[in-house]
Amino acid sequence: MKFIIKVFMRNLNEIKERISKESYEVINNEIDRDLFKYLVEDILENYKAFDKGHGINHIATVIDSSIKLSKYFPVNKNMVLTIAIYHDLGMSIDRKTHQIHSRDMLINDSNLKKWFTKEELILMGEACEDHRASNAHKPRSIYGYIVSDADRTTDIYDMIERCYNFSRKNYNDLNEEETYRRVYSHLVEKYGEGGYAKFYLEESKEVIMKPYIEAQEILKKEENFKVYYNKIVFN
């Protein structure tokens, strides 16, 4: 029991360090306490095994942005939080199809039946599946739109750090110059003007997009990007 409490508190503290006071107040006041305990204690712990780009730091960011966006829509905040925490869980099976595995893991989690109906589980699973930036189709519900936009929450520091760490782990045959080229080309392809990472909700422009837009400006000129890259990677 002491170990379980320790896990809960450790994961809770990591989330609290990275989400806004506004979002944490929503969690305290509007989220079912037993559900929150289950998500933090049992589900978040899985992210400790993932690369830094998909670890608890990223999940905390998605939680924060999801909750901020949820206030603009008549949605179930328990569902919003659950989707945010499950959306990358499928990384434990396969990165390329992780959104599908995340969907299945959520829908088939019998513990969630304590809080959600079958229809709600399916809706949340679809939102997890629909969150990926490279998907050809748009999200099928407002829950999918929320988690998709929340998943894009990033700034130039986060972009570079996540992509660099992923590249070093999964493309470890590349030298430093080759790694740099991969990071820059990938970030331009994904986040640059016309990139495949897109926001859907008008509300996102006010709530979460400012750092993203600033990063797009930096990506336009490689010499500017390289200054940030060197600062983050080599300092």
Q: What is the DSSP string of 39-83?
A: IIIIIGGGGGGS-GGGSHHHHHHHHHHHHHHHTTS---HHHHHHH
Q: How many structural domains are present in the chain?
A: 2
- Cβ 124 vs Cβ 83: under 8 Å: yes
Q: Where a domain ends, among 108, 136, 151?
A: 151
- Cβ 108 vs Cβ 90: under 8 Å: no
Predicted local confidence at residue 2, as pLDDT: 44
Q: For residue 68, with 0-12 CB atoms within 10 Å meaning exposed, 13-18 middle and 19 or more buried, which class applies?
A: buried
- Cβ 187 vs Cβ 133: under 8 Å: no
- Count helices and strands in the chain by DSSP H and E runs: 13, 0
Domain CATH number, residue 6 = 1.10.3210.10
Q: How many CB atoms lie within 10 A of CB 97?
A: 12
Q: Where a domain ends, among 151, 176, 196?
A: 151
What pTM does this model have?
0.89
Residues 137 and 213 both lie in one domain: no
Predicted local confidence at residue 16, as pLDDT: 86
Predicted local confidence at residue 1, as pLDDT: 45
Predicted local confidence at residue 169, as pLDDT: 85
Measure the CA–CA gap between 100 and 128, rounded to whole angstroms.
Answer: 8
Predicted local confidence at residue 5, as pLDDT: 55
Q: Where a domain ends, among 151, 181, 205?
A: 151
Residues 164 and 121 both lie in one domain: no
Residues 14 and 67 both lie in one domain: yes
pLDDT tens for the chain, residues 1 to 235: 444 456 788 888 888 888 999 999 999 999 999 999 999 999 999 988 876 667 888 999 999 999 999 999 999 999 999 999 999 999 999 988 999 999 999 999 999 999 999 999 999 999 999 999 888 899 999 999 999 999 999 999 999 999 998 899 889 999 999 999 999 999 999 999 899 998 999 999 989 999 999 999 999 999 999 999 999 998 7
Residues 17 and 90 both lie in one domain: yes
Predicted local confidence at residue 11, as pLDDT: 84
The amino acid at 47 = Y
Range of the domain at 194: 156-234
